[in-house]
Structure 1
């Protein structure tokens, strides 16, 4: 009798790296004896975490003073032991030659392993994650040149919308490898790399300086995991400005990667830390921070204020910080090169000083306009959006069974024409740099203004969509609005739209929601043809944006396929109606739906022998009909708005 095959035994203990990430620890043929994951990431494969006995009674606490110090008898493997340099910088078959070279290159400050052995300058007390953090620092050392490149790209494609770092000082700190000695800075740096790598993968690069293939390895997910693992397990120990900034960037990166639950997770962590640190009130800030950190704090606060409102509109949820509760000034309208640790400098007055206008009277500015002026204007629009969102939600407040009290304080309702009239007057008062969007040049001193103009346009359209969502408008009005919104986006150079990347797609999702809601209602021949044309225009715009997009690739094709399905149904219905006309009620002439063949998609071929309806009049052609529900279930955006209390669910699936 044949023996039963021997049952494979699982690995008795995973290495520190795999254990912390909760992933399978498997053997490999690595010459250094590392597991497959450690070999792939080119990090040391260690087993330095202390063994924990099972079955310890609940409530038993270990006295920190009784914990054996590293190297004491009974603990042969020191906690947080740093492996020898040659082990962590060894070659691996799964790593490219670039990382093999950077791992052995000396840093600007000398031997990189000097800073590696220094340890983190953060929390006190016993730390059982030391080996894991050392592994991520080894990963950062081997990816040193890549990190520097990604930081440079950050200032080209992310910084114009989220200027969370002072350019000159941040680049200097990275070049000096300060992120290897400061855990909070390490977390925020890894978060920057995760976001930039994700956007580069999704086609956000527009400068000829960079090649996409050179910026996406290691992948965004590796840097994301490094940032996540750099947080103390006890969030109360994540003190300092850099942890707040890391949470904010991870929330933005989560949008980029389509991980909306992680967006909510890191947004929540950000608001927890900012509440503990008092970021919402400048009087609570540390007294010893300099000019640079003061400006960075202001930019962070208002950046995530806008992100919070944006997320509330797109995915539902509450707005955590209100402008009325915030005592934080707008960032100074000064370029980074004139912000120093010692104060603010002034740019030189040039003959080409900007000309501003106030009414019909031109005013010549003595100083050039900073791009931050346009950035602050976008924040103004989001402050208006905060109140529009409040007004929209009040329509649904009676559904929770509470007594209505808001009308005591805000009796007047906000109409779309009234609000937009005021907003357009504010927009008209902007310098011309922010009302025009020229093509990208590769010169950031010019492109920064183009980014602000593009972002202002996107925010204006978002404001208009939210205002209209609170009003009952007819089919023609919805089509007018959708057509105007598409026209605005189609005029913005695509390079800016791609750099804004995934968040912009959700603006377009709002347009799709408007058109989809029209398709769900009663249609006439004319209204169907108009919506169909707008949907195909939207598919064209999506196709321009989604080239290489990791999460939403294929949305344009799904939209075209949806239109094709509806066209097929319309064609079939037309043939059935013509071949077997229903009996006219009470002797009246039969009612037919007349679809013009030339308006159909090119792939749809109609028989040339179809008879022309007899007795069809203009009134017959305008007869209302409704598409069956099964044809309206495959839009690339959801039409079920129950999760967001009537807001536009703008997210693409």
Structure 2
């Protein structure tokens, strides 16, 4: 074969006949005919369908109906963006039509519910029983009413438990949101108790950090409320939920969230009429049965007043700690905006919707200790009247301002002269030891009401003394700062020659505060201090230490070493997370106990 020869099979259409047999290309004007899809039977059998009407050959052969009902598959790759938008819109429509569309589940696996992205068809809002099982939740609710309720008496305990024990407890989204907010506050302010309950169930791995637990509860509460909860008829529990979410945010340093929730709670309380004043004799009566006035729900009325006052206390305490939330600023009372009456001093079991029964004689109500705390912060009202106009440390009429400060100090101290025995603080019989009432077990069962009541009074006692010390210290520092401004204006020097009787009285008050602080540190136990008093104790101690030496007396200088050690240990304790081993936590408290003993043995607060 020559090099240029080509095999004959390369020229398939070399003859005229073959060329004529080749089909010419379809013209552009002719449409290409596409075969219809196979019938359902031929498609499932994977055989060729002849596409005859009304029945194809295969269906006719086997005597079956020939149908073409299956959906056509979309040609080309799926458009993921369009699918995501469709899923989100469908989810939004379901939430608007029925906020409670998702059913409960008893599974404690958080990852299977709360970790799903919102752009999947399996996503749903997390539920409270997804966060923790019912067995743990029951303990957490009991702990809330034991440890948190003495300082934040919300909600109404018997009414809440009646709903909580209902088998359909979480069919109401508002109730689920309230319960989740309660758990969030407990975990944020008392993280070690919830961790113990999780550990007993073998679930401590669910939340390595207490902040994770708090955030999960916040997501549950916010999800249960939905986006349109303010469009629904308002009730006091809406405000309570907002306040508790704000409080948990404050404990976890989520300040923007906290401020928004606090402002919302205060607005709801005002809209519901918490600041309305009724018959004073009705508000102060604690004996006998008082009927409802004009059909008012007395439980709702009392909860509204309590909600207003807890926000009031929060605003005043934040102001003492250096914060200033304009969203919850409450000015002095006046005719158009009076302060509501104090909550009635009877326990919740004696408050019904249509009547309030008297507190048993000889039994101190939990609301009595709470109201003493309100009086401590309300004692600052005369100062807040001019401070809200001119500024806290602005001198405009020094003679009158110094008298107002001294009057407030006397007023806050006089409040403790009428404390019941259960709320009075006294040191133990032996140096460095607590008195017998502080040996109360903290694993109180729900049936042991007497021991539970004693523990709650201990918590209130610690908070009362910390609040009083913080208020007195705040007023004394205000006096000192403003007096320095006056001396700078007049060019006078700080000396004993420039001190008048009132100046010496305030200087003596500073020494008394130091001794009272050391006495409180020696007498308040670990768990009673933990819920709310640590911040206040820390603030008082740091203020006394950082004060100029010219303001410090002999007691303050002598106790400065011990206060510095206490302050260091308390600050270390504050930064401990619940994920730390229990023995690490106990080491810090052991060190605090050691300094308590050294302080007493050295004569600390016994100095005169």
Same fold (TM over 0.5): yes
Kept in 2, the 8 Å contact 1:313–1:389? The answer is no
Q: Does 1:445 align with 2:453?
A: yes
Q: Does 1:469 align with 2:459?
A: no
Kept in 1, the 8 Å contact 2:108–2:131? The answer is no
Q: What corresponds to 2:69 in structure 1?
A: none
User: Which of 365, 369, 373 is the equivalent residue of 1:370?
Assistant: 365
Shift of 1:78: 9.0
Shift of 1:192: 0.6
Shift of 1:416: 4.9
- Measured against aligned partners, the alpha-carbon deviations of 1:149-177 in whole angstroms (never above 9, x if no partner) come to 22111011100100112212201211215
Q: Does 1:47 align with 2:87?
A: yes
User: Which of 520, 530, 535 is the equivalent residue of 2:564?
Assistant: 535
Cα 1:290–1:480, aligned 2, differ >3 Å: closer, same or farther?
closer
Q: Does 1:429 align with 2:418?
A: yes
After TM superposition, the score normalised by the length of structure 1 is 0.55
Q: Does 1:180 align with 2:170?
A: yes
Distance in structure 1 (CA, Å) of the matches to 2:578 and 2:469: 23
Distance in structure 1 (CA, Å) of the matches to 2:382 and 2:293: 31
Q: Does 1:256 align with 2:256?
A: no
Q: What corresponds to 1:276 in structure 2?
A: 271
Q: What corresponds to 2:466 in structure 1?
A: 458
Kept in 2, the 8 Å contact 1:434–1:453? The answer is yes
More helix per residue: 1 or 2?
A: 2
Distance in structure 2 (CA, Å) of the matches to 1:398 and 1:471: 9
Distance in structure 2 (CA, Å) of the matches to 1:513 and 1:328: 33
Cα 1:522–1:200, aligned 2, differ >3 Å: closer, same or farther?
closer
Mean alpha-carbon deviation: is it higher for 388-397 or for 164-173? 388-397
User: Which of 326, 330, 333 is the equivalent residue of 2:338?
Assistant: 326
Q: What corresponds to 2:546 in structure 1?
A: 516
Mean alpha-carbon deviation: is it higher for 303-312 or for 177-186? 177-186
Shift of 1:289: 4.8
Question: Which runs of structure 2 are paired with 1:200-219 in the superposition (5 Å)?
Answer: 200-201=190-191, 203=192, 217=206, 219=213
Distance in structure 2 (CA, Å) of the matches to 1:215 and 1:282: 48
- Secondary structure of 1:439's match? helix
Distance in structure 2 (CA, Å) of the matches to 1:212 and 1:388: 51
Distance in structure 2 (CA, Å) of the matches to 1:258 and 1:526: 35
Cα 1:374–1:199, aligned 2, differ >3 Å: closer, same or farther?
closer
Q: Find the structure with the greater CA-based Rg.
A: 2
Q: Does 1:225 align with 2:238?
A: no
Q: What corresponds to 1:296 in structure 2?
A: 303
Aligned length: 437
Distance in structure 2 (CA, Å) of the matches to 1:307 and 1:300: 11
- When the two chains are superposed, the root-mean-square deviation of aligned CA atoms in Å is 5.0
Shift of 1:526: 12
Shift of 1:287: 6.0
User: Which of 136, 147, 157 is the equivalent residue of 1:157?
Assistant: 147
Structure 2, gaps ≥5 residues long: 1-77, 208-212, 279-291, 427-436, 445-450, 482-493, 496-506, 592-608
Structure 1, gaps ≥5 residues long: 1-8, 17-45, 53-68, 71-76, 100-127, 354-367, 561-653
Distance in structure 1 (CA, Å) of the matches to 2:460 and 2:108: 45
Distance in structure 1 (CA, Å) of the matches to 2:186 and 2:475: 33
After TM superposition, the score normalised by the length of structure 2 is 0.59
- Measured against aligned partners, the alpha-carbon deviations of 1:276-327 in whole angstroms (never above 9, x if no partner) come to 33332267x9965533223222222212221122223321234235444235
